[in-house]
Amino acid sequence: MRLGLDLSSGPTYMQLSKRLKQRHRERQDMNHGSLAARTNVHAEFDDYAEQYTTLLADPLRDRFANNDFFHRRKFMLIREFFRRSGLNAKQSSWVDIGCGQGELLRLGMAEFGSSTGCDVSPAMLRGCEGLTVLRQEQDDVLPFADGFADFATAVCVYHHVPLSKRAALTREAARVLKPGGTFCIIEHNPMNPVTRTVVKRSPVDRDALLLGIRETRRLLEEQRFRIVWERYFLFLPELLYRRIGFAERGLARVPFGGQYAVFARL
């Protein structure tokens, strides 16, 4: 099943996109057009929340895979990391930073001892019924105690975080992890031209600033994380992946997958 609408004829999508563009212009006017001075991320995602899945629709994205496939592939990598590392997820506590409407948490919660999400958008969190989630009041401050979790994820979060706050968010991730804990960052790969095209025309990513794997490594290493595993993925469309998904293992170091994952340990 394909996700969303035909963008060439979907008035609902076009109306929503036009409305969000107008709100974006209004915020830029208030902030003198400066990304650094823009309003908090939560204001943007509160606008998107009600029609979030619809706004993700894109002809290239929809031909590549069903929306659920993207979440499943991410959790498959997490599962593979735990297997390779000899870690027991059932004995681990997991925090998903920027959990949105909880798609990844729903996929993985049964495999972890405990799972908790947080997000800056109250409207997005309203989609997390049945999950344990907390409101994140600031982009770069997490609502958890020191040493709260064994494992933390930030999945397609950093490209929405202002450059000036990325180091602080990474520092917060280190703070809430237990000694020896692992932080996984998954991001869009700016080396992939299809990824760049989809992000560029997505209303949800209007202010996105993509970061490559080198910047992700740097952010982690500056907070004394040690990189333990990296993978590029989303090379193959869903239908092809079902048949020859094993082929992606041989491409995992090739820097042109649609997204990448970096796992780092304290």
| pLDDT recorded at residue 36 | 40
What would the DSSP string read from start to end of 165-183? HHHHHHHHHHHHEEEEEEE
| pLDDT recorded at residue 240 | 94
| pLDDT recorded at residue 178 | 98
- Is residue 189 within 8 Å of residue 195, measured between CB atoms? yes
| pLDDT recorded at residue 46 | 57
| pLDDT recorded at residue 114 | 97
| pLDDT recorded at residue 66 | 79
Query: For residue 229, what are its two tokens?
Result: 């595993």
185 contacts: CB under 8 Å, gap ≥ 6: 153, 154, 157, 158, 216, 219, 220, 261, 262, 264
| pLDDT recorded at residue 60 | 73
Q: 11-30 and 41-48 helices cross at what angle (nearest 10)?
A: 160
Write the CA distances from 23 to 26, 34, 149, 198, 250, integer angstroms.
5, 15, 37, 21, 44
Paired sense of beta strands 226-233 and 259-265, if any: antiparallel
Domains of the chain are 11-265 (3.40.50.150)
Query: What's the pLDDT tens digit per position in 150-186?
Result: 999 999 999 999 999 999 999 999 999 999 999 999 9
| pLDDT recorded at residue 31 | 38
| pLDDT recorded at residue 203 | 76
Ordered mean pLDDT values, 10 residues apiece, the chain (266 residues): 36 45 43 41 56 60 84 97 97 97 96 97 92 94 98 96 96 98 98 93 83 98 98 96 94 96 98
Plot region of 215 (φ>0 → left; ψ -120 to 50 → alpha; else → beta): alpha
